[in-house]
């Protein structure tokens, strides 16, 4: 009996280690930080419109899990959807090596959806319309809207169709504070544009990267890709400073600095066209979005 118990403990530790490796590779800790930062922006924006207290309660601490669980849900569903593709193009990943199996990820799917249902029951409506739309859209995304081959050939339609889920996600969060899409469209626009820019940033492959991987410069050229990213970055500033911020505060110089650094790194990538410069660009994208969200939160809360 002791030997059997010891073996079971080793198996549990091995499985937990496998999950840890998968999370480290496919859903690193930065996702936890970014989820709470994004929720902080949503919460403060809702509080400003409602002219209500910005004090965090147990409700806010748990509602932030709505973002985290949805992003995790999308990541896991992508693992199912792209499993065969990833076996060919990313054979060194945890899942493709067989360290963890697809069946093991079903537990994460169940826990993520269950957590969202519990949030609806406790603080919202079990049949929340935005949440139901988000779940429907998530399902359609997983099925690639049943037109996968056609859609993949139209990369920007594919991009916008998949990023639309962020609108449903943030609308769902705003619904907990009684805000409609009409009330919250500036914040929704900022988050949506930021999400599109992120997706293009991470798929702006350098010339030294695997030519088989999806790449926007491969479709529209480096000049077109750089122009598009500059336009989206400008769109972020227009939305924030025209439709969200009432008056300029010194803390928003952080946004300008982060924007300048992002643009410089974008031009460096445009000139060098190498993976290491794309990685720098991705990091500076993170700095830009952190500045846009956090500067607003700090300015409104102090």
Domains of the chain, each with CATH number or no CATH: 11-19+28-146 (no CATH), 180-302 (1.20.120)
Q: End-to-end alpha-carbon separation of the chain, Å?
A: 60
Residue 13 has pLDDT above 50, yes or no: yes
To which H or E segment does residue 130 belong? helix 129-142
Tens digits of residue pLDDT in 259-296: 999 999 999 999 999 999 999 999 999 999 999 999 99
pLDDT class for 213, splitting at 50, 70, 90?
confident
Residue 109 has pLDDT above 70, yes or no: yes
Q: Who's near 284: CB < 8 A, 6+ residues apart?
A: 258, 261, 262, 265
Q: How far is CA 299 from the centre of its chain?
A: 24
Tens digits of residue pLDDT in 113-127: 999 999 999 999 988
Q: What is the mean pLDDT of residues 135-152?
A: 94
pTM here is 0.93
> What pLDDT does 212 receive?
83
Percent of the chain whose predicted confidence (pLDDT) is above 70: 96
> What pLDDT does 290 receive?
97
Cα 120 to Cα 129: distance, rounded to the nearest angstrom:
11
To which H or E segment does residue 22 belong? helix 2-26
pLDDT class for 223, splitting at 50, 70, 90?
very high
């Amino acid at each position: 009996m002791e030997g059997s118990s010891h073996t079971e403990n080793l198996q549990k530790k091995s499985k937990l280690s496998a999950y840890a490796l998968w999370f480290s590779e496919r859903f690193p800790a930065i996702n936890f930080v970014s989820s709470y930062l994004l929720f902080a922006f949503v919460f403060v924006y809702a509080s400003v419109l409602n002219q209500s207290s910005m004090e965090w309660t147990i409700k806010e601490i748990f509602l932030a899990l709505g973002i985290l669980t949805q992003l995790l849900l999308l990541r896991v569903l992508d693992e199912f959807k792209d499993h065969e593709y990833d076996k060919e193009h990313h054979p060194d990943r945890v899942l493709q090596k067989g360290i963890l199996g697809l069946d093991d990820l079903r537990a994460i799917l169940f826990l993520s959806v269950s957590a969202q249902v519990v949030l609806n029951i406790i603080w919202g409506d079990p049949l929340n319309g935005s949440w139901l739309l988000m779940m429907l859209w998530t399902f359609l995304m997983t099925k690639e809207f049943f037109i996968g081959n056609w859609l993949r050939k139209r990369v920007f339609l594919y991009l916008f169709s998949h990023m639309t889920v962020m609108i449903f996600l943030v609308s769902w969060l705003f619904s907990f504070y009684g805000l409609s899409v009409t009330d919250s469209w500036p914040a929704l626009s900022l988050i949506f544009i930021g999400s599109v820019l992120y997706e293009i940033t991470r798929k702006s492959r350098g010339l030294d990267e695997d030519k088989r991987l999806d790449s926007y410069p491969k479709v529209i050229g480096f000049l077109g890709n750089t122009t598009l990213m500059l336009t989206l970055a400008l769109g972020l500033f227009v939305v924030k400073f025209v439709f969200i911020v009432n008056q300029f505060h010194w803390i928003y110089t952080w946004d300008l600095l982060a924007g300048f650094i992002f643009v410089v790194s974008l031009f460096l990538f445009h000139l060098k066209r190498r993976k290491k410069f794309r990685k720098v660009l991705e990091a500076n994208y993170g700095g830009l979005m952190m500045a846009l969200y956090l500067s607003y939160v700090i300015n409104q809360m102090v």
